[in-house]
Amino acid sequence: MKNLFTKFKYSIQADLHDMFDKKVDKNPIKMLNHYIREAEKQTEETGKLLARQAQLKKELELQLSQTIEMLEKREKQLQLALSTEEAELIAFAQEEVTAYTARKHALLASIDAANTEYFALERKFETMKHKIKDMKVRQLELMGKENVVRANHQMDKVLTSDNAGNFDELSTYIDELSQNIERKYEITTFEARLAQLEKEQKLIEQQK
């Protein structure tokens, strides 16, 4: 299990910025999305391996439990064989006790090593998950920067010297249009007042 992570295409200890040294200038968001997908895929595979290691630990512990049970049984049988003074029976029971004792020590050593390896893998697995979260934060940062760049680019296109002139012309046109409307409004108002005066004058003349 010591070489478990050597097959991975990236190093979980690497700084995130190092990932983009070669191609980040071309399309940082695309590159980051690629690395995140790869990291998530490798993390998922690692999680399966970690679960497999946990299962192997349980199997070793089960073997140890069965071995201890058989060892205790053979030790009792050895005591009974010794009481019979039958050499062949005593030899068999002694061989069994020796075999189960050796197996017990071997399993204890294996379980101890498995525990150490499991905890080491578990720490690396947690580190991998943190790296993915860091990359997703980086993804949001880059997306925000990319959005700002695009927005500025669009505004710069609109606010070029030519377009600025167009805006000035449009503004002048709107001012002229507004002035024309105001003049027409004033003329219409004056005409209405004059018409009213004419109407009032006619009424006065009629009353005479």
CB 122 within 8 A of CB 50: yes
- With cut-offs at 50, 70 and 90, classify the pLDDT of residue 162: low
Give the Cα separation of 26 and 34 in Å (integer). 14
CB 40 within 8 A of CB 143: no
Over range 123-138, report the average pLDDT: 88
What pLDDT is stored for residue 166 in this prediction?
A: 61
pLDDT tens per residue, range 67-85: 999 999 999 999 999 988 8
CB 117 within 8 A of CB 54: no
What pLDDT is stored for residue 103 in this prediction?
A: 96
Encoded tokens for 183: 């003049």
* pLDDT at residue 110 tops 60: yes
Predicted TM-score (pTM) of the model is 0.53
Domain ranges of the chain: 24-158, 162-208
- With cut-offs at 50, 70 and 90, classify the pLDDT of residue 10: very low
CB 16 within 8 A of CB 135: yes
CATH number at 24-158: 1.10.287
Over range 11-29, report the average pLDDT: 53
